[in-house]
Structures are given as C-alpha cells and as structure tokens.
C-alpha cells in the first residue's frame, strides 16, 4: 500500500497518458475529499470526465492501469466511473457512464476483460450522489474546474440516489451496521436541513439531533468508523433505530 497522494498522482499521470486530449478532468469525492479518509476502511472515490466516448482498446489500457494501481490501494480499493462531459451539465439522471470499476468487479475483469469492457456501461443512479459531493465538496485533481464541468443536481435526483442506499435498512442494517447507521444519519440531515455530509459528519449530526436512546449506537458506529475497533452490536436496538430513521426520512 502506498500513500494516498502518491497513488492519486500516479493515477492522474497515467490517465493523461492513456486518455490524452479526450480527458476533461479527474475529480475526487467521498471520504478522501471530505476529510474523513481512513485507509483501513475507506475506498478511493474518483470520477473521470471525458469529452467523447472511449474506444474499447483505450478502455482496456485504462482498466489495466487501474487494476495495477489497485494493488497498492487500501483494502477497499479504488472506485471510479468515467462519464462524458455532456451528462454533467445539464445533469442527466439516471446518469450514463462509459466505464466503472470497483473491487467488487475485479475478478470479472481479470477473468474476462473483453466481456467486462463490452458490458460495463449503462446508467447509474449512484452518480447523482457522487456528482453532488463533487459539486459542493469535491476536489479537482486535474483539468477543468468543478463549476466549469458540473451543473447542480436537483434535490429530487439527489434524494432518490441516496434513498437507494438506505431504503432497506430495516432488514439490512446488520449486514453493514457502521455504514448503514452513519448513512441513515446523513440522509436524515439532508432531508431535514439540506446538509451534504460525510458519514463521519452525519454521525456527529445524529448524536446531536436523534433521540437520546440511539446516541450510544451512533457513537459506537462513529468509534468503529474512525478506528480499528470491532465490537458487538445490539441487534434489537439497531433494527429499532433503522425503523425510526426510515420513518423520519419518509416524513
């Protein structure tokens, strides 16, 4: 594993070499852009904007580069999408993408790269959330300034995007309790106050704004999120919390 800044520099340099004049910009979002990056628990969230479509042979070169760099990344790895500039402003939802990568798809690419490149394209509702973070709090690593490339995402599209992450919280909270608890907090913070928060900031908001009976649960999630701790969860309390938060968000 190499330092985040060194990995990002290498990604930018190699992306320039591969994509050439088609490259509009490279943008960092997620925890690394919002000051709560934890190399043991965070992924590296990137968005690459191109002017025109990317030919398959260029996608292959790009993916080989990403997979190689991913070996030096933290355990959760690199997550990125390539999109055309034309879908950024005015913003298109659901958002078309040219290529996507995360560690979830690593084995697919390694075993059948041609199939991956042919099929890994379409639309992704998650991009509305990523674009919103970039627009308000992202970092330009290379290329055109954020406000020159991205238009604002409507409240309706952003909420639809983040709702998809938590709508099944009542049944799924114990699958990923830290992620779900902190995400529920930041979604409610957006619904109530229009705040665009990281998971860490969402947890802190929750402790101040959610009923006292759930504060210890949120504090536990925050503690594990920023440290190497692993503790047992009160499943009944977690499911009760999820039901309460979903009701509040729907209202």
The domains of the chain are located at: 4-154, 167-250
Mean pLDDT (whole number) for 29-52: 93
Domain 4-154 class in CATH? alpha beta
pLDDT for res 1: 65
Q: pLDDT confidence of 228, banded at 50, 70, 90?
A: confident
**Spatial separation of the C-alpha atoms in residues 186 and 192, rounded to whole Å:** 10
Please give the structure tokens belonging to residue 185: 């907090």
DSSP letters spanning 203-234: HHHHHHHS-GGGHHHHHHHHHHHHSS------
Q: pLDDT confidence of 41, banded at 50, 70, 90?
A: confident
Q: How high is the mean pLDDT of the chain?
A: 96
* 3-class SS string, 83-151: EEHHHECCECCCEEECEEECHHHHHHHHHCHHHHHHHCCEEECHHHHHHHHHHHHCEEEEECCHHHHCC
DSSP letters spanning 155-167: HHHHHHHHHHHHT
CA distances to 82, 155, 190 from 96, rounded to whole Å, are 9, 19, 25
Other CB atoms within 10 Å distance of the CB of residue 78: 22
Beta carbons of 47 and 29 less than 8 angstroms apart: yes
pLDDT in tens, 18-38: 999 999 999 999 999 999 898
Greater confidence, 251 or 23?
Answer: 23
Other CB atoms within 10 Å distance of the CB of residue 75: 11
pLDDT for res 38: 85
Mean pLDDT (whole number) for 220-241: 94
pLDDT in tens, 106-160: 999 999 999 999 999 999 999 999 999 999 999 999 999 999 999 999 999 999 9
pTM confidence score: 0.95
Mean pLDDT (whole number) for 72-82: 95
For a pLDDT cut of 90, what percent of the chain falls above it?
A: 93
Please give the structure tokens belonging to residue 136: 């308000």
Beta strand 122-124 with 139-143 is: unpaired
For a pLDDT cut of 70, what percent of the chain falls above it?
A: 100
């Amino acid at each position: 594993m190499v330092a985040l800044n060194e990995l990002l520099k290498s990604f930018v340099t190699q992306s320039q070499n591969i994509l050439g004049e088609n490259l509009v910009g490279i943008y960092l979002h997620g925890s690394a852009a919002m000051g709560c990056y934890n190399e043991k628990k965070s992924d590296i969230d990137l968005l690459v904007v191109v002017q025109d479509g990317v030919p398959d042979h260029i996608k292959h070169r790009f993916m080989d580069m990403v997979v190689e760099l991913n070996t030096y990344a933290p355990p959760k790895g690199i997550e990125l999408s390539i999109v055309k500039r034309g879908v950024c402003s005015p913003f298109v939802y659901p958002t078309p993408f040219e290529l996507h990568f995360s560690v979830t798809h690593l084995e697919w690419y390694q075993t059948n790269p041609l199939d991956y490149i042919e099929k890994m394209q379409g639309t992704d509702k998650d991009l509305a959330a990523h674009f919103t973070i970039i627009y308000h709090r992202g970092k330009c690593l290379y290329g055109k300034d954020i406000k020159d490339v991205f238009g604002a995402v409507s409240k309706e599209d952003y909420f639809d995007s983040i709702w998809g992450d938590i709508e099944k919280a009542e049944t799924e909270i114990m699958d990923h309790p830290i992620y779900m608890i902190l995400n529920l907090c930041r979604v409610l913070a957006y619904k109530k106050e229009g705040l665009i928060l990281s998971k860490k900031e969402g947890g802190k908001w929750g402790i101040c704004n959610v009923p006292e009976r759930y504060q210890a649960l949120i504090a536990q999630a925050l503690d594990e999120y920023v440290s190497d701790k692993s503790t047992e969860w009160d499943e009944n309390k977690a499911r009760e919390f999820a039901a309460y938060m979903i009701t509040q968000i729907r209202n």
